[in-house]
Amino acid sequence: MNYYEARPLKDGRGGHWTGLNDGQIWPAGACGEHAPHSTKEEAERCFYEYETASLVERTWASAHRCEVEGCGVWADKSLGPRGGSLAGSYLCDAHRTPETWRSLHPFEPGGSIMSSW
């Protein structure tokens, strides 16, 4: 099982968004490529920005109503992060944009993820 969250560095010089498995911790996402963040919230925002920088469109065998309030158009496509670590959303052609996805899933501090892959 992998556990992802913002964690402080052992030396106290800030923190990163990290993964943990079998007692091993590593910087995850973009955090492996830059200096530590000053706060936990900065590391969480770094992960959010990394995941939402290249949202992926997926086509499904079934359709759902567009998740934009008041739209109601049936959509068989969704938009979401490439790794699936954050929620995807069914969106119609008119609303399937990164801006709409971000408005439905704004950054919220305090996040963590458990995954088995």
The string of pLDDT tens digits covering residues 14-73 is 899 999 999 999 999 899 899 999 999 999 999 999 989 989 999 999 999 999 999 999
Residue 88: pLDDT band with limits 50, 70, 90: confident
Q: Per the domain annotation, does 28 fall within a domain?
A: yes
Residue 116: pLDDT band with limits 50, 70, 90: low
| pLDDT higher than 60, residue 117 | no
Q: Are residues 44 and 68 in the same domain?
A: no
Q: Are 107 and 17 spatial neighbours (Cβ–Cβ below 8 Å)?
A: no
Q: Per the domain annotation, does 111 fall within a domain?
A: no
Helix (H, G, I), strand (E, B) or coil at 10: coil
Residue 9 tokens, joined? 């560095």
Those residues whose C-beta lies under 8 Å from the C-beta of residue 53, and which sit 6 or more positions away, are: none
CB atoms within 10 A of CB 44: 21
Q: Are residues 6 and 45 in the same domain?
A: yes
Q: Are residues 33 and 45 in the same domain?
A: yes
Q: Per the domain annotation, does 36 fall within a domain?
A: yes
Q: Per the domain annotation, does 109 fall within a domain?
A: no
Q: Per the domain annotation, does 62 fall within a domain?
A: yes
Q: Are residues 25 and 66 in the same domain?
A: no
Q: Per the domain annotation, does 112 fall within a domain?
A: no
Those residues whose C-beta lies under 8 Å from the C-beta of residue 39, and which sit 6 or more positions away, are: 14, 15
Q: Are residues 44 and 66 in the same domain?
A: no
Q: Per the domain annotation, does 82 fall within a domain?
A: yes
Core vs surface per residue 82-109: b (16+ CB within 10 A) or e: eeebbebbbbbeebbeeebbeeebeeee
Q: Per the domain annotation, does 72 fall within a domain?
A: yes
Q: Which residues pair with 114 in a beta bridge?
A: 3
Q: Are residues 45 and 62 in the same domain?
A: no
Place of tokens 């458990």: 114
Q: Which residue has the higher pLDDT, 51 or 97?
A: 97
Q: Are 77 and 64 spatial neighbours (Cβ–Cβ below 8 Å)?
A: no
Structural domain that includes position 24: 2-52
> Which residue in 11, 13, 17 sits closest to 40, CA to CA?
17
| pLDDT higher than 90, residue 12 | no
Q: What is the number of structural domains in the chain? A: 2
